Chains A and B, each alone.
Chain A
Amino acid sequence: MSFYGLVDGSQASLTKYLGALSGVDQVGADARAAMLATRSIKTTSKRWAINTAISMVDLTTLEGADTPGKVKALCNKAVRPDPTDSSVPSVGAVCVYNDMVAIAREHLDLIGGGHVGLAAVSTAFPSGRASMPVKIQDTQDALDSGATEIDMVIDRGAFLSGDYIGVFNQIVQIRELCGSRAHLKVIFETGELVTYDNIRKASFLAMAAGAHFIKTSTGKVAPAATAPVVLIMLEAVRDFYQMTRVRIGVKPAGGIRTTKDAIKQLVLVNETAGPEWLTPALFRIGASSLLNDLLMQRMKLDDGYYASPEYVTID
């Protein structure tokens, strides 16, 4: 299967497609990202940005110690982030490990949270070190349990050793499995891809293989969603839109903990991909502690004095 007719699945066509990419100007990307991070967003714009950022959060718990109770609490928080204020929008999605999907599905349906997405991390997350049949079974399992979004990791070992067609075919297979049942997010783990050139290459590879979203990191490796990395991925989706008229989403994840960080991401989106991307359908932020900081900043805007972490729920 081939998407957009860009790559027909052969080694030769993928090499030709990726070979057409130019390298990333590393100094330029760093400087551009740093410059955009200095923008100051205040008052009504800040309120809009906070609400938009809340609606874009993929509220995540990916711990070995996750319990059904914790996942249910997370679902409650996702649907109604501030129990005392119904004007706070729901988040974009809940993101959990595979075996927690059924519990989250049942609970979201129970509390009327059908509008909140349910993302499952898949394909031997976070390392991606498993055989293809295992990865397919992993994904099938999540889909059968009711996931609406699949966050798959790419095989970084294969990518770094130059087996691009192997990585490409894995993404295609998972995308076919998702079909129309679930959106596919492809995680690169940019902290392990070493260079900006690799990040651009991985972005175009994943988009041509049918990804709905490209995602920076698992959250298990630092550095994760640094501003230049997100900038490069946003440039990639912008350029891909020029080629195909299809808009691919971007999801930075890992290391975005404060409202300031989140607003910087929104500035990057607006100035790079464009305002069309400022929607939860095309931009998500993978985070856990970020949501509380967004809520505290929102309280500060409403009340006129600084909030305390003691007045938001612990997740």
Chain B
Amino acid sequence: MSNRIYVKKTYKLFINGSFPRSESGRTYEIKSAKGVFIANPSLASRKDLRDAVTAAHAAQAGWNKVSAYNKGQILYRVAEMLEGRRAQFVDEIVSVTGLTKIKAEKEVTDSVDRLVWYAGWSDKLSSLSGALNPVTGPYYNFTVPESMGVIAAIAPESPSLLGLIDAVAPIIVGGNTVVVLASTKAPLSAMSFAEILATSDVPAGVINILTGKQDEIAPWMASHMDIDGLDISGLATTSHSAVRIAGTENLKRIYSFKSADPGRILAFLENKTVWHPIGL
């Protein structure tokens, strides 16, 4: 079988739990650090973004109802699956970015650990960020963090896998659903991560992953009225002002983060206050 032709993977988008090509039919070329052709991933269009937002919107109410404990378990399950496929991710990172194998292995290890870390926050958020407020009157007055809705995110160019997880996990752990644009130059690990999501217990539409160009997709994310918040941590700084201007028009919450911390989770939660009579 020495003449066997290697069966290459078609890297497509991940929308509503399935893997469509871009509706535009567009693709772009990915090359290795040494300039060798690797793959033709989909170049997502604004209509792909629209479809992803529709899916995320439909999935949000259901995902928000999942108990905090169960959300944490589901994220932990994703970490389990990633652990089991380490080799594939190491290979993809090495081939695209030219990192050494040791560095790629460290990125995958960090990614698994980061997922577990975010999973752990799930059932602690309301006790840490919520409050029992003192009020004059025979009432309990609670403040609890609640999800916003559909959040969009731009993952950084690198690290491609760890950056994607930092973009996605804090958003969904609080009950939001997400549409994320993966690294443009190194999207392979993002699309392989989508295969993990599809076979883990994350419901369809909770995480939607697009591949394409930031300057095409980011302004549409900012102007879309049905996206409630935007994480631009991975956005090239040259595009920041255009996105902020478009997002100001509809009062979108736009944040950028430098590291993984619980503030990433809380940024996309809203504090809601509930009154309850004492003694009932």
Contact = CB atoms under 8 A, between A and B. Distances in A.
B85 to A, nearest CB: 35
Contacts of A306: 50, 53, 220, 223-226
Interface in A292-315: 304-311
Interface string B62-83: 0000000000000000000000
A310 B50 CA distance: 16
A305 B223 contact: yes
Nearest to B47: A306
Contacts of B223: 304-306
A42 to B, nearest CB: 12
B64 to A, nearest CB: 16
A292 to B, nearest CB: 13
Contacts of A307: 225-226
A309 B246 CA distance: 19
Nearest to B50: A306
A137 B59 CA distance: 46
A247 B27 CA distance: 49
Nearest to B49: A306
A310 B226 contact: yes
A307 B227 CA distance: 10
Contacts of B50: 306
Contacts of B246: 305
Nearest to B57: A309
A304 B219 CA distance: 12
Contacts of B57: 309
A295 B14 CA distance: 28
A307 B249 CA distance: 13
Contacts of B225: 305-308, 310-311
Most B CB atoms within 10 A — which of A304, A307, A308, A311? A308
A306 B250 CA distance: 11
Contacts of B226: 306-310
A308 B225 CA distance: 5
A310 B53 CA distance: 14
A309 B149 CA distance: 12
Interface string B200-231: 00000000000000000000100111100000
A309 B225 CA distance: 9
A85 to B, nearest CB: 15
Contacts of A310: 225-226
Contacts of B53: 306
Interface string B38-55: 000000000000100100
Nearest to A307: B225
Interface in A95-134: none
Nearest to A309: B226
Most B CB atoms within 10 A — which of A304, A306, A310? A306
Interface string B142-163: 0000000000000000000000
A304 B220 CA distance: 10
A21 to B, nearest CB: 41
Contacts of A305: 220, 223-225, 246, 250
Contacts of A304: 223
A177 B225 CA distance: 50
Most A CB atoms within 10 A — which of B50, B225, B246? B225
A266 B94 CA distance: 53
Most A CB atoms within 10 A — which of B220, B223, B224, B226? B226
Contacts of B250: 305
A304 B226 CA distance: 14
A306 to B, nearest CB: 5
Contacts of B220: 305-306
A30 B223 CA distance: 39
A306 B225 CA distance: 6
A223 B223 CA distance: 37
A64 B53 CA distance: 33
A305 B220 CA distance: 7
Contacts of A308: 224-226
B115 to A, nearest CB: 30
4 closest Cβ pairs, A-B complex: A305-B223, A308-B226, A308-B225, A306-B224
Interface of A: 304-311
21 contacts: A304-B223, A305-B220, A305-B223, A305-B224, A305-B225, A305-B246, A305-B250, A306-B53, A306-B223, A306-B224, A306-B225, A306-B226, A307-B226, A308-B224, A308-B225, A308-B226, A309-B57, A309-B226, A310-B225, A310-B226, A311-B225
Given A306-B50, A311-B225, 14 more contacts: A305-B223, A305-B225, A305-B246, A305-B250, A306-B53, A306-B220, A306-B223, A306-B224, A306-B226, A307-B225, A307-B226, A309-B57, A309-B226, A310-B226
